[in-house]
Every structure is written in C-alpha cells, then in structure tokens.
Amino acid sequence: MSQTIQDISKNPIVLDIIQSALAEDVGNGDHSSLSCISADKMSRAQLIFKDDGIAAGIRIAYEILKFNDPEVQIKGFVVDGQRVSKGDIGFEVTGKALGLLKSERLLLNILQRLSGIATVTTEAVSIIGELKTKVLDTRKTTPNLRLLEKWAVTAGGGYNHRFGLYDMIMLKDNHVDVAGGISNAIRNAKEYLERNQLQLGIEVETRNLLEVQQALDMMPIQRIMLDNFLPSQVAEAVKLINGKCETEASGGITLVNIREYAMAGVDFISLGMLTHSVKSLDISFKIKL
C-alpha cells in the first residue's frame, strides 16, 4: 500500500500559505532582529529533530528560507517521509541572519505539525500491516492548511479521502435525516448529479445493518461508510455488502483497535485523529555563530 510522496513545495497554494503566514507573524517588521543585528550579518543554522518520528515538510521549510533570503545555501540530510531519530540533523543552512530568524518560527510550526501527522499515520499503517485496508484522513483539518496536512498523511503512508465538499457526494447522517431517509437521499443525489452533468462518487454513511441494506437497495453507489460499528458489526456489514461497493469504517477507531477493524475486511478506515488532535514532533532550529 505504499505510494510515491509528491513534492508539493512548488504548488502555488503553498506559496500563498507562506506569504499569508509571514504577514501574520512579521507584520511591519521583525523588530527584535532588526534592532540588534546588521543586515549583512551571515549565520549558519541546523534543524535538529528532538523526537523519533517521520519527517514531513522539509521541502516546504526550504521554500520558506528561500522566500526570506533567495541566496540562502541549504545542505539537506533528511527527505520527506524519512524516519528520523532524536538528535538527527534535518538540514544545515547558511544565509543572512535576519532571513534565518524571520523563517525560524514558521518553518518549525509547519515541520513540527506535519511531521506529527506523518508519524501517527505511519504508526496506524504499520499496525494494519499486511492487511488490505487503507488508512484515510478526513476533513478535520486546520483551516487553510488542509493541503499541507493531507499531504503529510501521504508522507506517512496513508491515503487522502475527499479534499472538500466539491469532489465527492458524501451523505452523512444529517443529510440522510433531513432528506427523509437513505433511499430519498441517494435518489436525490443521483438526480442532482444527472441534472448538473457532474461525475462524482456517492458515499453514504450508515448507522446500522438496516441502513446498509437500504443503501444496497439503491445501488450503484461508490462506497458505504459504517459509522460507529463494532468490529463484529463491520464484519457482518462487509459480508452483506459482498463486494458490491467499497466499504469504509469510521468512528470510535483508535490505534488500539484499528487492526481489529481492519481484520473485519473493510476496504478503508478513516481517522480524524490523524489531523485534528495529533501531537507535533519536537524539532529545533539552532543558529550557530
């Protein structure tokens, strides 16, 4: 279930994120640095990992450094997706001290969070091991940082669910209840897609085996989500679905029980914890004289 880790550092959205974040942090100037350091002062710095984990965001850190000092010189030792140990040096950089100091907090904030996401994703994937189930993220991401956080999931060996409300029809419990049931919700969704000439997959969230059967009665759909099912109930649902569409388990799943859910035969497991409550990796950026 491995996949190629894409370099997203050149994505225009990443540049927008960098510019916006620096505007928030720097404002009308880094007065702490400007007040005591000359513009031509050169310095060297090292990025040091202080936790074991998976590195993610290295190339984005490079872009932050280059944005603040186009002439900065970087020597990399770690690549995105690589396992690191406490004390490992991610990269060394030589450039104007003012640029290094302006970059420090932003590159650390991004690296620490993305590396934390990649690390916990790798742990989830490794627990599932040889089983067919793929680990998915969710939309429970930090506003305006979804691209980076979802990319970090792939750096950790996981896969992306939908990116937003626009790239998949996902009928959750609220949609189903407001529409008057699963049958109505799916029928309405199919008519909407046809009427608007859209080609989007349909996923429907189910809360029990009765709703699973109701969804099956409205085939074809792309995927049935089994929400807050016990592992034994997931196994029953997978047997009932019998390969007619994809299956996804979600809700109440942790690193403690994820393998049990995967052993029930589900195609995907989605984990909000990968992005909404992850512990950042401890990383430092130390300037050397």
- Active site residue ranges: 105, 140, 172, 205, 227
Q: Which pair of tokens denotes residue 35? A: 């007040």
Q: Which pair of tokens denotes residue 193? A: 């897609």
What one-letter code names the amino acid at 256? V
Cα 62–chain centre separation: 20
Q: State how beta strands 73-76 and 83-84 pair.
A: unpaired
Tell the burial category of 139 from Cβ atoms under 10 Å away from its Cβ (0-12, 13-18, 19+). Answer: middle
User: Starting at the edge strand that comes first in sequence, how are the strands of the sheet with 89-96 ordered?
Assistant: 73-76, 89-96, 42-49, 283-288
CA nearest neighbour of 272 among 152, 138, 144, 160: 138
Half-sphere exposure of 288 (CA within 13 A, CB side): 9
Q: Which pair of tokens denotes residue 126? A: 């490794």
C-beta atoms surrounding 233 within 10 Å = 16
CA nearest neighbour of 43 among 4, 69, 11: 69
Is the N-terminal amide bond of 220 cis, ω within 30° of 0?
Answer: yes
| Contact between 42 and 95 (Cβ < 8 Å) | yes
| Contact between 252 and 228 (Cβ < 8 Å) | yes
For residues 146 and 151, give the distance between their C-alpha atoms in angstroms, rounded to a whole number. 8
